[in-house]
Amino acid sequence: MNMAEKIAGVWPEIALLLGAALCLLVGLARSVAIRRFTGWIAAASLLVAGWIVAAQVCNAGGVIGLTPYIKLAVVAVGLILLMVAAAVPVQLKMTRDIEAGREPFEPGLVIRGEFFAFFLFSLTGVMLTADASDLVWLFLALELTSLPTYVMVATSRDRVEAQESGVKYFFLGAMAAAVFLYGFALIYGATGQTSFSLIVDAANQQIAAQGRISPLLTTGIVLSLLGVAFKIAAVPMHFYAADVYQGATTAVTAFLAFVPKTAGFVALIALLGLLPDGYVPPAITWLLWIMAALTMTVGNVLGLMQSNVKRVLAYSSIAHSGYMLVGLLALHGSGDALGNGTAAILFYLVAYGLATIGAFAVLGSLQARGEEAETFDDISGLVRTHPVLAGVMLLSVLSLLGLPPMIGFLGKIYLFGSAIQHGFVGLVVIAVLNSAVSAVYYLRIASACFFGDSEGHTVSTPGISRPLAAGIAAVAALILGFAGGRLVSTARDAGGFPTGRNDVVTTPSQPPAATTASR
């Protein structure tokens, strides 16, 4: 592919980057009225990017592959996230003081432009991750996704906890980046290539000559998977999640719950796609199996012990990463969506994103004692003071739990069904038991909203954007639970890209030896 063709494929990302640059410029204006346009510029950039992706799909005959699927999902969920995050700069004391005239205008202290620019930069990174066809490109895309979030966490709240969370998130993220970059270096050392297609060719040559891929290539992929596990908050790279989710403002927490996780799973799909057709070394199979089992178990067990709702949802996010790791073990299955792990992950990312953003948006719509609602006491008796928000929270946690008719139920059916078709019955049993355990803390949230005693100190935050975003996410999760057939078929079609291979993964019950399978 020449440079002109490559640039033609990234026009949506270019639209977001131009929007981010415009946000930076407008955010430096002296006029408060002009600076307030930054949020609308971010929304317009997302809409333009979505229009470009839709036009590209139409020009391709209506075929939605993995890349346009991810880009459209980023645009759709990104617009909801933008509604949740729109008020973040206004909540900061320095913004209020400057805009009220209590402090002189100082460009370095006005963060409207920077916040929305970082918002768009991170979404651009997810899109570029889906575009990646080279290890260098993948590394840069993952870092473009993550680096803005470190700043968003640290500057999103007038509390020292936010700065502490930002520093912790940054240093752990740097360590994870070093791990997967070292893995990329080993992959290059084993194959002499950075292009995905050429790495697959080199791996095929190794199998033809030795009957297996080299230990160096296996080690490189293992380290890469472990490093990228930080993006999805999977065990053993999960330790930051609860503290960072609690320390950041709720809108940024909702952003963290979806955006880096989406980029991480797209990267994991790409890395496993480097393996030749039907060949997965037992070391990688066992790594994914153990990571999936530990991640869902640790997330759910620790979620039971929390008294802070944001921490509960943080451990819930860890558990859902474990569920999606189950789908990675059945990465490329049959054309049927029920047997295709890639399709199941793509569908579940949307299902999880809608539900978790709905829950966080409800918390962000409430204040208790001058701070955002976080504890179970803050949402106790919510149905009597804010019945609509209580209903939205109920729909969100039911979808996260995976009860019908919510979209989360369909998502788990496809994830677990794909694993069963590939022989991972034991892991699915663990996943189902973990889903039952998660019911305890999800229903505890619902019980607090509907059966708790209202203490009268919780009020709604100014503005309509967050409650509206919460309602849109919850209603979408409900409607797609009833009528998600189109999204399922789209995810199934996207699951055949970019490689379209029919990989068969060795099950842990088989002897620890690499296997091969024909197409």
Q: What pLDDT is stored for residue 462 in this prediction? A: 78
CA atoms within a 13 Å half-sphere pointing along the CA-CB vector of 499: 26
Parallel, antiparallel or unpaired: strands 458-460 and 371-372: unpaired
Q: Looking at the predicted structure, is the pLDDT value of residue 8 above 80?
A: no
Q: What pLDDT is stored for residue 518 in this prediction? A: 30
Rounded to an integer, the average pLDDT of 274-291 is 89
Q: What pLDDT is stored for residue 497 in this prediction? A: 55
Pick the closest to residue 412 from 502, 299, 483, 322 (CA basis): 322
List, for residues 217-239, the tens digit of each pLDDT value.
999 999 999 999 999 999 988 88
Backbone angles phi, psi at 156, to 5 degrees: -90, -5
Rounded to an integer, the average pLDDT of 305-329 is 93
List, for residues 479-516, the tens digit of each pLDDT value.
988 876 667 777 777 766 543 333 333 334 343 333 33
Which residues contact residue 74 at a Cβ distance below 8 angstroms, ignoring those fewer than 6 apart? 123, 126, 127, 259, 262
441: which DSSP letter? Answer: H
Cis bond before residue 236 (omega within 30° of 0) = yes
Going by pLDDT thresholds of 50, 70 and 90, the confidence category of residue 337 is low
291's enclosing H/E stretch is helix 282-303
How many beta carbons lie within 10 A of that of residue 278, not counting itself? 17
Q: Are the CB atoms for 231 and 317 separated by under 8 Å?
A: no
Going by pLDDT thresholds of 50, 70 and 90, the confidence category of residue 173 is very high
Q: Looking at the predicted structure, is the pLDDT value of residue 244 above 70?
A: yes
Residue 39 tokens read as 């949020």
Q: What pLDDT is stored for residue 279 in this prediction? A: 81
Cα 464 to its chain centre, rounded Å, is 25
Pick the closest to residue 220 from 251, 186, 253, 188 (CA basis): 186
Rounded to an integer, the average pLDDT of 11-29 is 94
Rounded to an integer, the average pLDDT of 305-332 is 91
Longest dimension (CA), the chain: 74
* Cα 170 from Cα 192, distance rounded (Å): 31
Q: Looking at the predicted structure, is the pLDDT value of residue 188 above 50?
A: yes
Q: What pLDDT is stored for residue 296 in this prediction? A: 96
Q: What does pLDDT average to over the chain? A: 87
List, for residues 82-119, the tens digit of each pLDDT value.
999 998 888 888 887 787 777 787 777 788 889 999 99
Pick the closest to residue 363 from 306, 299, 312 (CA basis): 312
54 SS3 class: helix
List, for residues 344-359, the tens digit of each pLDDT value.
899 999 999 999 999 9
* Cα 171 from Cα 182, distance rounded (Å): 17
The amino acid sitting at 262 is T
Rounded to an integer, the average pLDDT of 383-407 is 93
Residue 241 tokens read as 């999640």
Q: Looking at the predicted structure, is the pLDDT value of residue 444 above 50?
A: yes
Q: What pLDDT is stored for residue 371 in this prediction? A: 82
Q: Looking at the predicted structure, is the pLDDT value of residue 519 above 80?
A: no
Going by pLDDT thresholds of 50, 70 and 90, the confidence category of residue 202 is very high
Rounded to an integer, the average pLDDT of 56-80 is 90
Q: Are the CB atoms for 323 and 463 separated by under 8 Å?
A: no
Going by pLDDT thresholds of 50, 70 and 90, the confidence category of residue 271 is very high
Q: Are the CB atoms for 74 and 44 separated by under 8 Å?
A: no
Pick the closest to residue 146 from 165, 174, 167 (CA basis): 174
Quickly tell me which residue has 């409650």 as its tokens.
467
* Cα 327 from Cα 82, distance rounded (Å): 29
Residue 101 tokens read as 């005239």
Pick the closest to residue 357 from 399, 324, 411, 318 (CA basis): 399
478 SS3 class: helix
Residue 3, classified by CB atoms within 10 Å of its CB into exposed (0-12), middle (13-18) or buried (19+), is: exposed
Dihedral angle, C-alpha 277, 273, 74, 443, nearest 10 ° = 90
Q: What pLDDT is stored for residue 501 in this prediction? A: 36
How many beta carbons lie within 10 A of that of residue 456, not counting itself? 9
Rounded to an integer, the average pLDDT of 437-463 is 87
Q: Looking at the predicted structure, is the pLDDT value of residue 284 above 90?
A: yes
Which residues contact residue 178 at a Cβ distance below 8 angstroms, ignoring those fewer than 6 apart? 227
358 SS3 class: helix
* Cα 383 from Cα 203, distance rounded (Å): 58
Q: Looking at the predicted structure, is the pLDDT value of residue 243 above 80?
A: yes
- Determine if the pTM surpasses 0.75: yes
